[in-house]
Amino acid sequence: MQQEDKKMGFIDDFKVDQELQVKTLCVAFFLVIFPLYFFSVAAGTDSPTGMGGVGSYEVSGEITYIDFDEGGEYIADGTSLIIDLNTDSLSDMEQEMNIVGVLVSMTYDEDEQARPGPLCLSQTAPDTITGTASHLNFSNSADGQNGGGNTGHDASTEWYNASMIGTSENPEVVEGLSESSIVDQLDAKGAGLGDYSIEISVSAAGDSCTNPLGGQNEDNGEDVSYTIQLIVLDYSITPYIDVDDIDL
């Protein structure tokens, strides 16, 4: 009897309370639409693993790093330091991670000494330090100079589509692709394993004296310190529904 009274009370409230009507309809709508949506995604799957078909997805990710190598060396003008590495040096757990790139961070100063005085009045000329990171058929270079207060730069090579990645708070909405197509652009599928080659070269420049008879500063190279890290991507893909477009 008490349950029937509660039921009748709810029905009476529903008839006159517009806010209650809206809330009830919203709950009923989502109870119906979500199972239908996920059923349609499963029906449109394009892979045997049950991934969703072409549609809209929210994609988020987080970048972490694996320390691969570090060191420092004096690199003479016009020469290169070659560093060959292999992921066999990583732990089993690290080798199972989604390695999607390599980052080389270089730091350096200026060892050229300016010669003051009325017979010279020279300054220091900036040197160019070039870092190249290569893995399989992926390679990229970046230059940096030690003039103007600069003390370092990075060079990186990546093999994933960074434009697809948002954050957990603000995921990127990717439209018109299947879930497996998105995965193909984010998951290295073991491509990050194997040999790596890092090259750091120096092109030194010595400034000339203002007085032509004063000669030129001596600059034979630079001390370069480096850190090499592997880039790891953890990502999440979920179906996207724009509730703002739903008319109640």
Domain locations in the chain? Answer: 2-43, 60-169+188-234
Report pLDDT for 20: 53
| Cα distance between residue 240 and residue 217, in whole Å | 63
What are the angstrom distances between the C-alpha of 3 and each of 8, 14, 21, 44?
A: 9, 16, 21, 43
Q: Average pLDDT by consecutive 10-residue portion of the chain (248 residues)?
A: 51 58 58 50 46 89 97 93 98 98 92 55 72 97 82 95 94 94 96 98 69 54 93 95 61
Predicted local distance difference test score (pLDDT) of residue 126: 77
d(CA 199, CA 35): 54
* Residue 190: per-residue pLDDT: 95
Extended beta strands in the chain, E state: 55-76, 80-86, 99-108, 128-135, 138-145, 152-158, 172-177, 195-203, 221-239
Q: How many CB atoms lie within 10 A of CB 196?
A: 23
For 60-169+188-234, CATH number? 2.60.120
Task: Tell me what pLDDT residue 22 has.
Answer: 57
